[in-house]
Structure 1
């Protein structure tokens, strides 16, 4: 699977998850998890779709090791961040327990973004 296809497929998965999560919130009338819903849509669907399209439009970006690092760092970071945010906001895991884990998940996303920045700076034409 190419990096472009990987981001596009995962973006579509997060779109479906975001829609279903939004339907659940609307049906239940409980919108307390709206920040989780927003992060699913932004980190998941929106960013992954943009990355997938950019890698498709600029193939030189996809041919680098930075692209693969970006893909896996973003996948892991986004998934763990969304799960941690859900656990925090539902009160399933106390803030004192999950709080120290959050910067790690955010750091993975940031490292992915740094790979994206370096790749664009070096290879975007």
Structure 2
């Protein structure tokens, strides 16, 4: 079985840890200017990546093709890390470029995920032998 689901869950947990630390820091400082960064670390990073890992665990056939799996993982994890950084840059420096690029990478990863799900959903079902015939 592929370890891809586990890698998604590990990346998700790192994002959760970063989001929790940022949230605690904002609470201690009573400065919530970076709340969108905190929210996106938790939403894209923790929630979405963890769900991806669970989906890949539930349907291991999605991990059968190595190259699309690696490309999607890199797009999704990279975007989940870069998008909050881009939001931070946008808030603190007024520079939205990284947030825009990361959101487009996220969109590409989601599109690839949808294509892979559709391919799995509409592929021909394997033929099964009747129970009374021996398997060869």
TM over 0.5: yes
Partner of 2:118: 121
Q: Name stretches of at least 5 consecutive residues in structure 1 with no aligned partner.
A: none
Please give the alpha-carbon distance, in whole angstroms, between the structure 2 residues aligned to 1:54 and 1:6: 13
Residue 62 of structure 1 deviates from its aligned partner by: 1.3
Q: Name stretches of at least 5 consecutive residues in structure 2 with no aligned partner.
A: 123-136
TM-score, length-scaled by structure 1: 0.88
SS in structure 1 of the partner of residue 32 of structure 2? coil
SS in structure 2 of the partner of residue 32 of structure 1? coil
Task: Between 24-33 and 99-108, report the one with greater CA deviation.
Answer: 99-108
TM-score, length-scaled by structure 2: 0.81
- Highest RCO, 1 vs 2 (Cα 8 Å, sep ≥ 6): 1
Partner residue of 2:80 out of 56, 67, 78 = 78
- 8 Å contact kept, 1:61–1:124: no
Partner of 1:47: 48
Structure 1 runs, 4 residues or longer, greater than 4 Å off: none
